[in-house]
Structure 1
């Protein structure tokens, strides 16, 4: 079985045309409408919203109206920002007093995620600066397109699955690291390159031969080689660029509006935040690469991020969604019982879940979603890692992998269990115990629901320890996060 779901990172073209951030400008009037012109892309309808200040706190919200059909730009931004545009409209409407509406987790509101920096000058103590379970993360760099050298691209983003704690020979005390997928962070390594196909679409190429990425794809990166430069950020520059564009348009649209000074102040702050590299979260500590497999020939796709610099003060919590969060998305009887903080895996990990048992995840793009565990294991291959096949053959490792499946429940208006940006999400059971790491999602043609591939969390933890050459002595879900 092959998959073409979100095998490669989302790429936003900052220089080409049409501009993916070119949205219809917001109109200031006594009443405002958020219009959705495509019934198959939105169930939000039309909302009448009183003109208070279209703000959630201090930062500006994305411009309205949002057109969800006939615009490739909308699709690009929706995938890259990690938030559904129609759900954004629902939140805006609810904030202005329109009830009842299905509302995403407040922490997923695009403008707040963009401006995680908070609204005080003390970034270390403002809770909005913290990076917690389900938040967006991505490489701390821009990507050059081909050999032109003058066209920047924003790398894709993924999900911070959860905070874990490890003990090492050098650091015998519990120390926190962020867990995500390797393919989420690989654009941070030297050797990652982009090109264009025959339709002039941006595509991910094989890494430069003998580069850092070429080596890590094949052999992984253990802690002994953590000196390779590969930094990770939160919030991601995809969201930062969008915020700058929105604020700039707000200022240019009506420079004499009473809100304009506040917009200028916000624009100055978010530019300074990135100029000062305060979005820096940490560096890749170790990563699986593409060639490692479980004892049952399952794919291993993991990376650990060590908080460094200002990122040390921004370690967030492994907070699970609340009952209201689940019910707002339509999970009335199928929501998990667990609340509070992500718990340690059960004794037998993912394998303790019965066939058809309920499992859940929180991703950057689709937020909190639930589905059913399937013990049917298809054989899978991915186009993106074909260049490691000769190496794997030389190591007598199977290239095709056998994967556990996570089958989504068809929900009105949101058939996707996971989309681009959700890679790296930790999967948990109804008791809130971590059981797996999601690394791909897919939807078959004409299907009404999607599915995702997950690696048992016990296999991920075992491989992290084994791959460290005995440097990592113990590992667990962070207990005070």
Structure 2
């Protein structure tokens, strides 16, 4: 069994769909040959914890309170002695005081942990780890007088960074997948919780990065990676895992691994957040705000949603203006529209609302409310909106997003305060003229950005057409698209980002930078696509690779509109840049294109980067499927046509 599909033999208290954001405290331990328990201890293969173990994946966050860290340093020599007495294989640098929290979760005092990264070699290690944890716990009680600090020993391979790449075309799993895939679904269907709780099935190469533990770079094993809901426990998939492994062996795919992991597969639009001085999950806007809206621009609803019952304003989520298409109605002229995802446009549609998830929190996190029956949003979710209905509703958007604007102003204010304080402390310094120059520059930048909104220059345009959640391509891929009628003076072109925008990535070709897209490619061809590129509002210009095997994906809205899972074209972040990501939350709507400036499709969702998963997957709607969907409106009798603008 590989370390990437190690079962966790822990049973947790019941948790809901929101488990990612909540504390998961273990209430019992599943007894098997891999685990033992005694009181509040949990011992499982590759992990030991007291009191209990939170379900993986977890992230390790540094900087606990100074007073706590000071006490930790006092007992650290005793911890080393305990580990050495129990003959635990570890290095002194692998003991740390940290927070252990779920990905994206703010740590609390309950998460302070003494974490020891060690190497599990034999089954007997469980007993020695258990004894070491017991002794460390005693040290904390006697010498520190604390019960709040947790102890965790974990094999370093469970938390080591992973890298990914696509499966090469000539691997046997590519040819076998059409046969094996439905059989995997049959197995999953025999486990009700797993059937309800699986979120994606991806086939990629996944392995561990070379590390300080002396691990050499491995050949990444081909892995069937099955993402499941956070509420599931390993016992919910253990039987299915064994049966899938047997299935692979019968089909002579012994080298293919199976990995189950908790996580989210969500559309890559930002969650809602209250206006805040903290820059949560998004970046400030550098440079002048664009008057003409380019590919990859950040946009959002023009108005703030209201959160109930507190009636606070909530910053709307953001998405990406992928680029532009031209559409004409029968007998009319071609007109250019900005293209994004439907799910990014929803916060502006009447019927959208949100509520406080935790009213007692100082900064409670909002969540979407159930869509009211009979509302325009409910109509849009199920059936989409045609031009006549959308125009009548006057659903408006802005570029840049107010959310990014607010964060940008706070960032400028922080820099201003720093320079003003420096100026006040050293009024006679030779650096004062230079400091005043920087202050004047920042004040001018703030005034210009504020004026941009005060004068209404941020207004982008209004919703013209959208798909809703039910539209699928002929091959069961999602078509999640919205078209925005942009104010004439803000209409841009499909110009590839300048060479300087690509940062650590090589541009498609230096000669292509700043040039317009000049045609359409198709994921359906599947071969010889070479590297692919995108420009998004969150992560900017990035590159990736096309996977020959499509992914099966379920999203939480599917049951609400009577739909099942979809099959999606999958792209993996460039494996040559191991710290890279292809997309992240906020990049929904981004156009994906190829080397010769061909539009390939549009990102609608994917996975997010974590400490363990350094790269990300992106799910993409084929460009031709978007063109075909527009052409099928009005009964497909040629009432509508769409095309990529010739001049960009």
Asked whether the two chains share a fold, i.e. TM above 0.5, the reply is: yes
Match for residue 493 of structure 2?
317
Q: Relative to structure 1, is the Cα distance of residues 378 and 14 closer, same or farther in structure 2, using a 3 angstrom cutoff?
A: closer
Deviation per CA, 1:190-239, whole angstroms, max 9, x where unpaired?
11122233685322233222211111001101112121231111111112
Q: Residue 69 of structure 2 corresponds to which residue in structure 1? A: none
Q: Does the 8 A contact of 1:381 with 1:400 survive in 2?
A: yes
Aligned position for 2:381: 217
Instruction: Report the counterpart of residue 621 of structure 2 in structure 1.
Output: 455
Of 368, 374, 377, 2:547 maps to 374
Match in the other structure for 1:144: 306
What is the CA-CA distance between 1:408 and the residue it aligns to? 1.4
**CA displacement, residues 367-392 of structure 1 (integer Å, 9 cap, x when unaligned):** 12121112312221111454222xxx
> Relative to 1, partners in 2 of residues 1:251 and 1:361: Cα closer, same or farther, differing over 3 Å?
closer
Within a 5 Å distance, the mapping from 1:68-467 to structure 2 comes to 73-74=278-279, 76=280, 79-81=281-283, 110-112=285-287, 115-116=288-289, 128-149=290-311, 151-169=312-330, 172-197=332-357, 200-226=364-390, 227-250=392-415, 254=420, 258-259=436-437, 260-307=439-486, 311-323=487-499, 325-326=501-502, 328-331=503-506, 338-339=512-513, 340-346=515-521, 349-354=522-527, 357-389=530-562, 398-410=563-575, 412=577, 414-443=579-608, 446-467=612-633
- Counterparts of 1:230 and 1:80, CA distance in 2: 24
2:647 matches 1:480: yes
Larger Rg: 2
Q: What SS does the aligned partner of 2:299 have?
A: strand
Q: Assess, with a 3 A threshold, how the Cα gap between structure 1 residues 157 and 345 changes in structure 2: closer, same or farther.
A: same
Q: Which runs of 5+ in 2 are unaligned?
A: 1-197, 201-263, 424-434
CA gap 1:155/1:444 in 2 versus in 1, 3 angstroms: closer
> Structure 2: how far apart are the matches of 1:270 and 1:146?
31
> What TM-score does the superposition give when structure 2 sets the normalisation length?
0.52
Q: State the secondary structure of the residue aligned to 2:381.
A: helix
Residues 148/197 of structure 1: CA separation in 2 closer, same or farther (3 Å cut): closer
Distance 2:405 2:625 in 1: 35
Q: d(CA) in 2 for partners of 1:228 and 1:313?
A: 22
Q: What CA distance in whole angstroms lies between the structure 1 residues aligned with 2:510 and 2:590?
A: 16
Q: Give distance in 2, aligned partners of 1:251 and 1:336.
A: 37
> Following TM superposition, by how much is the alpha carbon of 1:447 offset from its aligned partner in structure 2, in angstroms?
3.5
Q: Distance in 2 between matches of 1:10 and 1:191?
A: 19
CA contact (8 A) 1:373 1:406 kept: yes
- Partner of residue 38, structure 2: none
CA deviations 1:100-128 (Å, max 9, x no partner) are xxxxxxxxxx222xx41xxxxxxxxxxx4
Say if 1:384 and 1:266 are closer, same or farther in 2 by CA, change over 3 A. same
Checking the alignment, whether the CA contact within 8 Å between 2:501 and 2:540 is kept in structure 1 is no
Offset from partner CA, 1:400-443 (integer Å, 9 cap, x none): 11111111123557332100111101111111101111111215
Q: Answer whether contact 1:371 1:409 (CA < 8 A) is retained.
A: yes
Q: Matches of 2:383 and 2:559 in 1, distance apart?
A: 14
Cα distance in 2, alignment partners of residues 276 and 386 from structure 1: 43
Between stretches 194-203 and 372-381, larger displacement belongs to 194-203
TM score, norm. by length of structure 1: 0.69
Alignment RMSD: 2.8
| 8 Å CA contact 2:534, 2:543 repeated in 1 | yes
Point out the structure with the larger helix share: 2
Q: Determine the C-alpha separation between the residues in 2 that align with 1:164 and 1:471.
A: 17
Matched residue pairs, number? 366
Shift of 1:362: 1.2
For 1:366 and 1:456, the matched residues in 2 are separated by 21
Q: Distance in 2 between matches of 1:139 and 1:362?
A: 20
Q: Secondary structure at the match of 1:295?
A: coil
**Which residue is equivalent to 1:70?**
none
Distance 1:336 1:402, change over 3 A: farther
Q: CA deviation at 1:449?
A: 2.3
Deviation at 1:468, TM superposition (A): 4.8
**Structure 2 CA distance for partners of 1:354 and 1:338, relative to 1, 3 Å:** farther
